[in-house]
Amino acid sequence: MPWKSSLGRFLSSAWLQAACRLALGGIFLYASLDKIAHPRPFAEIIANYAILPDWLVTLPALILPWLELLAGLLLVAGVWTRSAAALLSLLLLAFILALGVNALRGIDVSCGCFSTSAEITENAGKLILRDLLILLPGVILLLFGKERGEAEIKKAGG
């Protein structure tokens, strides 16, 4: 099927892979900053999701933003690309799950996605859609990305 191979070529093309790295990495890099600066409001937002027990909310509030920052930096730099993309995709899946749970409960929580303002509550459906959209470059990187070593081995093997 020629369309399939040309789609595969498109998805694994160097420029699309680079665009996905920069998009996913950049988004998380940006998202981490406000939360690193303001862990307490972020912890309150996590508490508002009403998923974790109260004694457990400060750990993710302190650690998650740094994870976003580190993985974002690595992606933008093109180092450890697959691991960073896998980590951020896992995070996105967890966020989607958390938003989904509260959408089913009928609670519009403050997202805590890009800012730590608890005043803004948003529609969970829209947020899930946005997260799925952000997940897309992650999936493209994971499924169609080639790490340097692999590309060379493939060439060598003909």
Partner 1 sequence: MRLKAKHLLQMTALAAAAAALGLGANFLRREPLPLLRALPGAGAGMPAIGEVDADFVEQMRLASGILLVDARSSAAYRLGRLPGALSLPLADFAAAYAALEPQLRQAELLILYCSDRTCGDSPELARRLWHKGLKKLLLFPGGMEEWLGRGHAVEK
Residues that bind partner 1 (CB under 8 A): 36, 39-41, 43-45, 47-48, 54-59, 61-67, 69-71, 74, 80, 82-84, 86-87, 105-110, 118, 121, 142-143, 150
What values do phi and psi take at 100, rounded to 5? -65, -45
Nearer to partner 1, 2 or 91 (CB): 91
Nearer to partner 1, 2 or 94 (CB): 94
Calpha distance 66→31 (Å, rounded): 10
Calpha distance 43→60 (Å, rounded): 8
Work out how close the CB of 104 gets to partner 1 at its nearest, in angstroms, rounded to a whole number. 9
Question: What token pair was written down for 109?
Answer: 């929580």
Work out how close the CB of 44 gets to partner 1 at its nearest, in angstroms, rounded to a whole number. 4
Give one word for 6, left, alpha or beta, with left for phi > 0 and alpha for psi -120 to 50: alpha
Work out how close the CB of 9 gets to partner 1 at its nearest, in angstroms, rounded to a whole number. 18
Nearer to partner 1, 2 or 98 (CB): 98
Work out how close the CB of 97 gets to partner 1 at its nearest, in angstroms, rounded to a whole number. 18
Half-sphere exposure of 34 (CA within 13 A, CB side): 13
Question: What token pair was written down for 68?
Answer: 């976003």
CB 88 within 8 A of CB 74: no
Closest CA to 92 of 40, 133, 60, 146: 133
Work out how close the CB of 147 gets to partner 1 at its nearest, in angstroms, rounded to a whole number. 9
Nearer to partner 1, 56 or 129 (CB): 56
Nearer to partner 1, 2 or 75 (CB): 75
